[in-house]
Amino acid sequence: MMIVMRQGATEDEIAHVIGRIEAAGAQAHPSRGEFVTVIGAIGDDREMIAGLSLEGEAGVEKVVPILKPYKLVSREFHSEDAVLEIRGRKIGGDNFCLIAGPCTVETREQTLVTARAMKEAGAAMLRGGAFKPRTSPYSFQGLGEPALEILVEAREETGLPIVTEVMTVAQIPAVLEVADVVQVGARNTQNFDLLRELGQAGIPVLLKRGMATTIEELLLSAEYIAAEGNEKIILCERGIRTFENATRSTLDLSAVPVVKQKSRLPMIVDPSHAMGTRDLILPMARAAVVAGADGLIVEAHPSPETALCDGPQAIYVDQMNAWVADVRRCVDLMGKVMAGGEPAEVGV
């Protein structure tokens, strides 16, 4: 942390600030310029240094943090990419992970048909919501626990690990029984109690960026999970809310290189919820891969017109082979390896 003293700060004021830093067990490194003095505070316990509240001291102009406010998830302390392995599927580093499946588990048939097609197309994991965060209380809220049983059946048949959302602390035990990765949705990015509990549960967490969450806030939310001892975290950009309404959200692809620079965690992209319309998803999926994303999460449905949730953005299951083959070319271009699943034969 750097403490910038006011122009004309007295020697007593400077000495007082140095004294406070040293009394807290840190080292003070003053640099005296012609006009201002800047004091560096260096110590192992940065929370404690930050907690000194030196902003209020006489003669202090401002206090500038040097290190990021998050540490476990940052690159400052561990520079290598984190690589997670979920039932043999790697994510992070040179591995590219495609997660695909229905928005929502509606029926056994719809889920199994979709799961088989995702596996055939080369997806590494199966997504599917049992508990759905719906904007309207009158919309279908998900099948709940029976959906979890259907997801288990889909995993047994296809071998695809399950990614499913948890909305509340109370749902955690049921979801933990079956999920390989627990999704925290955009509406819960800053549900800190939920994040802490998932940190304690130790299960891999797919943490989505909220619609009005900055990148730094996303990383701080990840830090909540990591601070409980769980560093198995996958971050996800899914679009943010802006004045633009041509798409469902505005896909902030700049978040990918920014996060990858600041954090060692894998970062994937959800072009489905960002674009909201089927035909717009592929171009942004390609762009996400080339921007450096470690994976994608996309929605698919056998008959999107009848879907109970997010039909307009669901890729037709029978078009998934060609869709994945297209994305795979971008993955190859980036020199990454697609995790899991053999590609289906498609005429490309």
| Residues near Mn ion (CB under 5 A) | 103, 310
- Residue 311 binds to ligand PEP (criterion: CB under 6 A): no
Answer with the entry of Mn ion, ligand PEP, none that 208 interacts with (C-beta below 5 to 8 A by kind): ligand PEP
Task: Count other Cβ atoms within 10 Å, centred on residue 170.
Answer: 9
Q: Which is nearer to Mn ion, 102 or 161 (CB)?
A: 102
**Tokens 């319309």, located at residue:** 277
Contacts of 306 (CB under 8 A, 6+ apart): none
Question: Which among 17-25, 37-45, 141-149, 185-193 is the span making contact with ligand PEP, rule CB under 6 A?
Answer: 185-193
Q: Which stretch binds ligand PEP (CB under 6 A): 45-53, 180-188, 275-283, 318-326?
A: 180-188
Query: Going along 59-177, which residue ranges are E strands?
Result: 60-64, 84-86, 89-91, 95-101, 125-127, 162-165
Q: Return the structure tokens found at 154.
A: 């889909």
- Type of residue found at 257: P
* Contact between 312 and ligand PEP per CB under 6 A: no
Q: By rule CB under 6 A, what string of x and - marks binding of each residue 156-175 to ligand PEP?
A: --------------------
185 contacts ligand PEP (rule: CB under 6 A): yes
SS3 call for 214: coil
**Least distance from Mn ion to the Cβ atom of residue 275, Å:** 12
Kindly give, in sequence order, each residue whose CB lies less than 8 Å from that of residue 328, ignoring residues fewer than 6 positions away: 122, 338, 343
Q: How far is the CB of 205 from ligand PEP (least distance, A)?
A: 13
CA Rg, the chain, in Å? Answer: 23
Q: At its nearest, how many Å lie between ligand PEP and the CB of residue 292?
A: 20
133 binds, among ligand PEP, Mn ion, none (CB under 5 to 8 A by kind): ligand PEP
CB-wise, 90 or 127, nearer to Mn ion? 127
Site string for ligand PEP, 255-284 (x = CB under 6 A): ---------------x--x-----------
**From the list Mn ion, ligand PEP, none, partner contacted by residue 255 (C-beta under 5 to 8 A by kind):** none
Q: Measured between alpha carbons, how far is 227 from 49 in angstroms, rounded to an integer?
A: 18
Closest CA to 299 of 89, 125, 128: 128
Long-range contact pairs involving 317-321 (C-beta distance under 8 Å, separation at least 24):
317/113, 317/114, 317/117, 317/118, 318/117, 320/100, 320/117, 320/118, 320/120, 320/121, 321/117, 321/120, 321/121, 321/345, 321/346
> Which residue's beta carbon is nearest to the bound ligand PEP?
185
Pick out residues in 204-233 that bind ligand PEP (CB under 6 A): 208
Give the pairing type, strands 205-208 and 60-64.
Answer: unpaired
292 binds, options Mn ion, ligand PEP, none, Cβ within 5 to 8 A by partner type: none
Comparing CB distances to ligand PEP, the nearer of 165 and 294 is 165
Alpha-carbon span 208 to 212, nearest angstrom = 11
Among 186, 203, 291, 293, binds ligand PEP (CB under 6 A): 186
Please report, as a single letter, which amino acid is at residue 201. A
Q: Which stretch binds ligand PEP (CB under 6 A): 46-54, 109-117, 184-192, 317-325?
A: 184-192
Q: Identify which range of 31-39, 45-53, 143-151, 182-190 contacts ligand PEP by CB under 6 A.
A: 182-190
Encoded one letter per residue, x for contact with ligand PEP by CB under 6 A and - for no contact, window 140-159 reads --------------------
CA dihedral sign, ordered 2, 8, 9, 11: positive
The residue ranges that bind ligand PEP (CB under 6 A) are: 103, 129, 133, 185-187, 208, 238, 270, 273
